[in-house]
Chain A
Amino acid sequence: MDTTIENSNLKSEEYFINMGPQHPATHGVLRLLLTIDGEIIKKVEPDLGYIHRSIEKMSERDSYQQIVHLTDRMDYLSSHINNEAVCLTVENALQLEVPERVKVIRTIISELTRIASHCLWWGVMGMDVGALTSYFYGFRDREMINDIFEETCGARLTMNYNLPGGLMYDIHPNFVKRTKDFIAHFKTKLPEYDRLLTGNVIFQKRMKGVGILTKEDAISFGASGPVARGSGYSCDVRKHHPYSAYKNVSFTESLKTAGDSLARYEVRIQEMWESMSIIEQLIDNIPEGDYKVATKAVIKLPKGEFYQKVETARGELGVYIISTGTKNPYRIKFRSPGLSNLSLLNHIAVGGKIGDLVASMATLDLVIPDIDR
């Protein structure tokens, strides 16, 4: 057989295919230009900008209160954490100390956001590799969190619950009870995730040893969040640069060293347990007090530069403000975790098959508006 092929004029040829911008596995308008040889990927080049709204330019004409509202249109699954990042930057610049009550509530809602985001990720992750059932499990549990948000924040997705100086309004009287009910519910459901998907032989074969990222490359590519922690790079902002109430809680940073798709998957599952533990430590001890401190109606930051990083569900979000002392930022830069995490996709996908690209991309947990901003 081999000789027949050698003697004939059969040859393989590289060619381009388009994946996206409307592809179910890209979860948004992301277009990937794939150079392939047979089914082996030679190059992945993302084409971005389909939903770029230039939030950074818009912010230059907006007040600081207005900018908060733009940020939950970036990574909409971490909207509360994005809002918090801007509020923290402004509060630090003004040297404004917010009440302990605010810090604790912000932290609880951030962790609920993280669980909700990981639930959605877990659902679509299963769907991307052909396990449709996981989608319904993930959405069922996320729904409970969205209901809690709806009651307390007034919205389910783009919450806008933060403002510089504290919170829009106090928590709903049902908040503590519903959060506890959710934790009790989710503790029985999270092991189901493992039974349904993690241990599945087909799933394991799709994930193990696929899309390998070394620790050195993770740092060099600026990876953060579960993507970097799956490669053993300790980068949790909540540990290294604690903000809000993270100083007062004990939790373990999820770290795996394998660097493959399965490691990134396991980090996120473990993070959901850790988030539940953080919420449990805080939910019964929400300090009494005000839910905000008054700020001036027109906030002017002092002249200078301010940087604040937070840990969103996707990784490190940085807010960099250059202020000239006016009511608008002279320049604001959002360092999005998604763009850096996307930049390593080519590196982990080359040499693999298209199916592996879909699985690896799912473990990067990309949210396109976060990349496009």
Chain B
Amino acid sequence: MDLMKVNKTECMTNEALQNLISNWIPELTFTEEGSQYLNIIVKPEHLHQLMSQLKSNNDTSFDYLFCLSGVDWGKELGVVYHLESTTYRHTIVVKTQTTDRENPTIDSVCDIWKTAEFHEREVFDFFGITFNNHPNLKRLFLTDEWDGFPLRKDYVDEINMIIK
């Protein structure tokens, strides 16, 4: 029963989160449009700094990365991070994207959350996004010889894909 009583700390509102986080790094975009969570859009060069602060700051304390997804937005390729704090139970979504489709590169967050290691490999496998400083970046599901990145919108495979 005592275990249940821990973690009953006050959770921050989206507004308070935005006020706090916008002081850390300039050029962050905040939006709640079309999403149940507060979204932050960050440039790839600021991603790692933002992420490590989101985890280490005592007021935000986002220690649980529960979803890491690659997304192909058409022109841009990017990654969406869903974060939750197990202390405060508030949630935030961080998005980053790059227009370089030939050689997309984003910093790894493996050193912040260990779960990122497998999930970044999945994104590398299906979207071809390279993660800097990843300890073991190779394909997770497909074979090394596989040509192309299947979850990209411009991926063509006439044999295995049934297009309706």
**Residues on A facing B (Cβ under 8 Å):** 48-49, 52, 54, 56-57, 61, 217, 219-222, 224, 232-235, 240, 253, 255, 257, 302-307, 309, 316, 318, 320, 322, 331, 333, 335, 339-340, 342-344, 347, 372
Contacts and interface: CB of A to CB of B under 8 A. Distances in A.
Given A306-B36, A307-B67, A320-B82, 17 more contacts: A48-B141, A57-B161, A217-B114, A219-B63, A219-B64, A220-B113, A220-B115, A222-B65, A222-B113, A222-B115, A233-B86, A240-B89, A255-B3, A303-B34, A318-B67, A331-B72, A339-B118
Contacts of B37: 307
A234 B143 CA distance: 37
A343 to B, nearest CB: 4
Interface of B: 3-4, 6-7, 33-37, 63-67, 69, 71-72, 80, 82, 86, 89, 93, 113-115, 117-119, 122, 140-143, 150-151, 161-164
A320 B69 contact: yes
B164 A234 contact: no
A333 B82 CA distance: 12
Contacts of B63: 219-220
Contacts of B142: 49, 52
B64 A222 contact: yes
A86 to B, nearest CB: 15
Given A257-B3, A343-B114, A318 B66 contact: yes
Q: Is the interface of B mostly helix, strand, loop or mixed?
A: loop
Nearest to B72: A331
A320 B67 contact: yes
B67 A335 contact: yes
Given A240-B89, A307-B37, A318-B66, A339 B163 contact: no
Nearest to A303: B34
A219 B64 CA distance: 6
Given A257-B3, A333-B69, A221 B164 contact: no
B118 A342 contact: yes
Contacts of A309: 66
Nearest to B140: A48
A217 B63 CA distance: 10
A73 to B, nearest CB: 16
Contacts of A318: 66-67, 82
Nearest to A216: B63
